[in-house]
Chain A
C-alpha cells in the first residue's frame, strides 16, 4: 500500500460519494415504492421534495466521479516512479492488474453518470416528471457500480508494492514488469488512420444532418457513429495518434501524452473525445423518450445545444489529432 496524498484523496472521495449514493439509493427505494404522480397526498408531496435531495446528492456524487477519473489517471501517472521499469501510467497499472479494471469501471461510470444527470435535468424541467421510475431504477443499478469502483480502487492501491532499497541489498533484482507489452500493441497505422478519418467524417456528416433535420433516423445513425467513433478513436490513439504526438515510430503509450513533457496535450484530447461522443450519443438515446409530449418539448429545446457541443468537441479532437500529422516534421507514412 502506498500512502500517497492523491491515493488518500481518491479513496476518501470515493467513500464519501458511495455513502452519499447509498443514502440516495435508500431514498430512491422509498420513492419507487410509493410514487404516485396522480395523488396529492402529503406523502406524495414529501416524496416529491425528496427527489430534489436525491438529485442534488447524485449530481454532486457524479461530479466527483468525473473528477476522480482525472485524478486517478494523474495519480497513477505520478506513482509510476515508484516502480522499477515503469515509464508512465502503463507501468503503474501493470504493477497490479486490477488497475486496468478500475480504469474500465471509471469509463463506464463516466458515461452512465453523465446520462443519469442529463436525464434527471430533462425530467425536472417537465411538469409531470415522467422519468421518475426509470431514473430511480437506474440509480439503484449505478450505486453498486460506484461501490465496485471504490472496492477495486482500494484493492488496486493496497496491492501495490513499491520497490525500495532495503538494508541488506539493492532492490535492483526484482525487475518484474514487462513494459514491452505496451510497446508492441497497436494496429497498423495506415489502415487505422483511414478508418479513423472516415469514421470521424461520418460522425460529423450525421451530426450536421441531425442539426438540419428532425428525422429520428439521423439521430440513431449519429448514436451508432458515436459508439463506433469512440472505439476507433481509442484504438487509433494507441495505433498512430500517440506516434505522432511523441514523434517516435515505436511509442504507443496512451498515457504518456498526459505528462508535462507533452504539454498535457492528453487532457484536452481525452476530454474532447469523451465529451463529444457523449453528446453525440444523447440525441439518439433520447429519441424514444419523445413519445411523451412534455419530454419531447424539453428534448427539442436542448437537442441543438447538445449537437453543437458534440460538433465543437469532436472538431477540437480532430484538430489535436490532425495538427502533428500535418505540421510536425515527423513522417510516419511516406511513399
Chain B
C-alpha cells in the first residue's frame, strides 16, 4: 500500500513538473467531458421535469378523432365513460391555443367552472366572472402585469377584450402553468366560438392504475371514434423522444471524442527526451516495468479525474444556472415556448457512471500502448543517447 502511495505521489509531482503539456490535455479533456455531460444532464432534467408535469395529468385523456384529426368531443360521452366500473371523475376540459402576434408567442387558454384544486395559486383568486383571468408567471412577466391590472386578448371574431388579472400561478414546476391563462368556461367558449355541449377532451380519473389499459380498451370499444391516451404512454413517449434526442446529440459529439482521443494518443506518444531519461533513471535505480506502468496508470487517472470533475462542474453550471443556453434549442424542441424556466437539478449516479464510461474509457484505451512503450524503455540505451 505504501509503495502504491509513493508511486502516486511521484506521479502527481511529475505531472506538476510538466504543467504546460498536461494543462493542454486537461483543457481539451474538460471541454469534451463538459459537452457530453451537458447533454446527459439536460436530458435527465427535462425527463424528470416531464414526470413532474405529468404527475398532475389525468390518468386517461379521451380525444375524439374525425377523419383522422383531433375534433371536439360531445360532453354526453363523459356520462357514458363515467358509468364504467372503476372510473372516478370524468371532466370535460375546454382549452385551446392562442397566438399573440405582438409578443410572437403561444399561450394555452383554459376554461374553468370552479376552482381547480390541482393548480396551486401564488396569490389572488381564480376567475370569478367573465371579466377576470388568472395568469401563469411567464405571461405576467412577458406583459409586465400583476393582480388588478388588465390584459387585452383578441378573440376569434377579432375584437379585443379586456380582462382583469385576478390571480397568479405558482406550481412545483414552472413548465406546468408558465404559459397558462384561465378564463371562465362560458367566456372561453365565446372567445373561441366553441359550440355548447362539446369539449376539447375528457379527463378520466381511474381508481386502480392497473386498470388503465383495460379501461382504455373499453372506452375505445364503446366510442370507436375516440382516442384514449394513458398517462404512462405520454411518459413513454417523452422518455423515448428525450433518449433519442440525446442519443443523436451524443452520436454527433462522437467526432469530438475521436478528435480528443487522437490528441491524447499524440501527446502520450510524443514523450520528450527529458521524460525518457527520467524513466531510464527510474529503471536504473530499481523500478521495474510494472512500477512504471503503475506510475503511468496513476498519471492517467489523475488527469482523467481532474478533467472529469471540472467537466461535470462546468456542465452543471451550464445546464442548471445558465439554462443550458448552448443546447436547449436542440434538445427541448418545443415550438416557440418562451418560458425562462430554471431546470430542477436532477442528476443521479447512473448519469455520472455513464459519463465516466463514455469519456474515461476511450482516453485510457488510447494511452495504454504509449504508456507501455515508455515503460519498457531500456535504461541503458536511454542514458547512453
CA distance A81 to B361 in the complex (A): 28
Q: Residues 290-314 of chain B: 1 if any A CB is under 8 Å from the residue's CB, otherwise 0?
A: 1001000000000000000000000
Q: Does B113 sit at the interface, judged by CB under 8 A? A: no
* In contact, B251 and A57 (Cβ under 8 angstroms): no
Q: Does B16 sit at the interface, judged by CB under 8 A? A: no
Q: Does A3 sit at the interface, judged by CB under 8 A? A: yes
* In contact, B243 and A81 (Cβ under 8 angstroms): no
Contacting residues, chain A, for B161 (C-beta < 8 A)? none
Tally of contact residues, B, Cβ under 8 A: 47
CA distance A165 to B247 in the complex (A): 20
* In contact, A82 and B293 (Cβ under 8 angstroms): no
Pick from B234, B357, B369: contact of A9, CB below 8 A.
B357
CA distance A8 to B361 in the complex (A): 13
CA distance A70 to B354 in the complex (A): 11
Q: Does A84 sit at the interface, judged by CB under 8 A? A: yes
* In contact, A5 and B239 (Cβ under 8 angstroms): no
Q: Does A335 sit at the interface, judged by CB under 8 A? A: no
Q: Residues 202-231 of chain B: 1 if any A CB is under 8 Å from the residue's CB, otherwise 0?
A: 000000000001001100100000011110
Pick from B39, B236, B290, B375: contact of A82, CB below 8 A.
B236
Q: Does A328 sit at the interface, judged by CB under 8 A? A: no
Pick from B213, B365, B376: contact of A52, CB below 8 A.
B376
Chain A nearest Cβ from B231, distance in angstroms: 11
User: With A170-B216, A173-B217 as given contacts, are A6 and B354 in contact (CB-CB < 8 Å)?
Assistant: yes
Pick from B43, B232, B233, B368: contact of A57, CB below 8 A.
B368
* In contact, A49 and B289 (Cβ under 8 angstroms): yes
* In contact, B216 and A3 (Cβ under 8 angstroms): no
* In contact, B361 and A16 (Cβ under 8 angstroms): yes
Q: Which residue of A lies closest to B371 (CB)?
A: A56
Q: Residues 14-35 of chain B: 1 if any A CB is under 8 Å from the residue's CB, otherwise 0?
A: 0000000000000000000000
Chain B nearest Cβ from A69, distance in angstroms: 12
* In contact, B290 and A124 (Cβ under 8 angstroms): yes
Q: Does A333 sit at the interface, judged by CB under 8 A? A: no
Chain B nearest Cβ from A183, distance in angstroms: 13
Q: Does B235 sit at the interface, judged by CB under 8 A? A: yes
Contacting residues, chain A, for B353 (C-beta < 8 A)? 70-71, 74
* In contact, B362 and A16 (Cβ under 8 angstroms): yes
Q: Does B350 sit at the interface, judged by CB under 8 A? A: yes
Q: Residues 72-95 of chain A: 1 if any B CB is under 8 Å from the residue's CB, otherwise 0?
A: 001000110111100000000000
* In contact, B290 and A52 (Cβ under 8 angstroms): yes
Chain A nearest Cβ from B306, distance in angstroms: 20
Count chain B CB atoms within 10 A of each CB in A2, A3, A84, A173 and give the residue with the most.
A3
Q: Residues 153-182 of chain A: 1 if any B CB is under 8 Å from the residue's CB, otherwise 0?
A: 000000000111100111111010000000
Count chain A CB atoms within 10 A of each CB in B213, B243, B248 and give the residue with the most.
B243
Count chain A CB atoms within 10 A of each CB in B234, B357, B369 and give the residue with the most.
B357
Q: Which residue of A lies closest to B61 (CB)?
A: A170
Contacting residues, chain B, for A60 (C-beta < 8 A)? 364-365, 368
Q: Residues 270-301 of chain A: 1 if any B CB is under 8 Å from the residue's CB, otherwise 0?
A: 00000000000000000000000000000000
* In contact, B375 and A52 (Cβ under 8 angstroms): yes
- The B contact surface, by secondary structure, is helix
Q: Does A185 sit at the interface, judged by CB under 8 A? A: no
Pick from A6, A49, A164, A169: contact of B227, CB below 8 A.
A169
Tally of contact residues, A, Cβ under 8 A: 44
CA distance A268 to B369 in the complex (A): 34
Contacting residues, chain B, for A164 (C-beta < 8 A)? 233, 236-237, 240-241
Contacting residues, chain B, for A172 (C-beta < 8 A)? 213, 216-217, 220, 228, 230, 233
| Residues 341-385 of B contacting A (Cβ, < 8 Å) | 350-351, 353-354, 357-358, 361-362, 364-365, 368-369, 371-372, 375-376
Contacting residues, chain A, for B40 (C-beta < 8 A)? 5
CA distance A81 to B240 in the complex (A): 9
CA distance A74 to B350 in the complex (A): 8
User: With A12-B358, A71-B353 as given contacts, are A4 and B247 in contact (CB-CB < 8 Å)?
Assistant: yes
Contacting residues, chain A, for B12 (C-beta < 8 A)? none
User: With A8-B250, A60-B368 as given contacts, are A170 and B354 in contact (CB-CB < 8 Å)?
Assistant: no
CA distance A9 to B240 in the complex (A): 17
CA distance A4 to B250 in the complex (A): 10
Pick from B235, B243, B358: contact of A2, CB below 8 A.
B243
Contacting residues, chain B, for A16 (C-beta < 8 A)? 361-362, 365
Pick from A79, A124, A168, A175: contact of B213, CB below 8 A.
A175
Q: Does A53 sit at the interface, judged by CB under 8 A? A: yes
User: With A60-B368, A74-B350, A170-B229 as given contacts, are A12 and B361 in contact (CB-CB < 8 Å)?
Assistant: yes
Contacting residues, chain B, for A124 (C-beta < 8 A)? 290
Q: Does B195 sit at the interface, judged by CB under 8 A? A: no
Q: Does A246 sit at the interface, judged by CB under 8 A? A: no
Q: Does B244 sit at the interface, judged by CB under 8 A? A: yes
* In contact, A5 and B229 (Cβ under 8 angstroms): no
Q: Residues 167-211 of chain A: 1 if any B CB is under 8 Å from the residue's CB, otherwise 0?
A: 011111101000000000000000000000000000000000000
Q: Does A67 sit at the interface, judged by CB under 8 A? A: yes
Q: Does B286 sit at the interface, judged by CB under 8 A? A: no
Q: Does A330 sit at the interface, judged by CB under 8 A? A: no
Contacting residues, chain B, for A81 (C-beta < 8 A)? 235-236, 239
Q: Does A64 sit at the interface, judged by CB under 8 A? A: yes
Q: Does A316 sit at the interface, judged by CB under 8 A? A: no
24 A-B pairs in the complex with CB atoms less than 8 angstroms apart: A2-B240, A3-B247, A3-B248, A4-B243, A5-B246, A6-B350, A9-B354, A9-B357, A9-B358, A19-B365, A20-B365, A49-B376, A52-B289, A53-B376, A56-B368, A56-B371, A78-B350, A164-B237, A165-B229, A165-B233, A165-B237, A168-B68, A172-B220, A172-B233
Question: What residues of chain A have their CB less than 8 Å away from a CB belonging to chain B?
Answer: 2-10, 12-13, 16, 19-20, 49, 52-53, 56-57, 60, 64, 67-68, 70-71, 74, 78-79, 81-84, 124, 162-165, 168-173, 175
Question: What residues of chain B have their CB less than 8 Å away from a CB belonging to chain A?
Answer: 39-40, 43, 68, 213, 216-217, 220, 227-230, 232-237, 239-241, 243-244, 246-248, 250-251, 289-290, 293, 350-351, 353-354, 357-358, 361-362, 364-365, 368-369, 371-372, 375-376
Q: Give the 8 A-B CB pairs with smallest separation, nearest first.
A: A3-B247, A49-B376, A53-B372, A9-B357, A164-B237, A4-B243, A9-B354, A162-B240
